[in-house]
Amino acid sequence: MTPTAYPLQWPIGWKRTQNPEFSKFKAGSPYQESIDINRQLELMGATNIVISSNMQYRADGLPYARQG
């Protein structure tokens, strides 16, 4: 199965945590965060990046700006 950005898909074989916590990172806009994450992954040599979430994404892989 090829992963898609929407809807959220958890990696096969990975269990979700039983006790989730709030992120300790300062959140910016989803658009800027997507750019930052992609940049960091590219610096690590990642290719064919798919960020899966419950947000809808544009054809270029960045999220639409006006989502809750």
Q: Where are the domains of the chain?
A: 1-9+26-59
pLDDT one digit per residue (tens) for the chain, 68 residues: 566 777 777 778 888 888 888 877 777 777 788 788 889 999 999 988 887 777 888 888 777 877 76
Instruction: Count CB neighbours of 30 within 10 A.
Output: 16
Alpha carbon distance 32, 30 (integer Å) = 6
Alpha carbon distance 50, 68 (integer Å) = 21
Alpha carbon distance 28, 20 (integer Å) = 20
Structure tokens belonging to residue 13: 């074989």
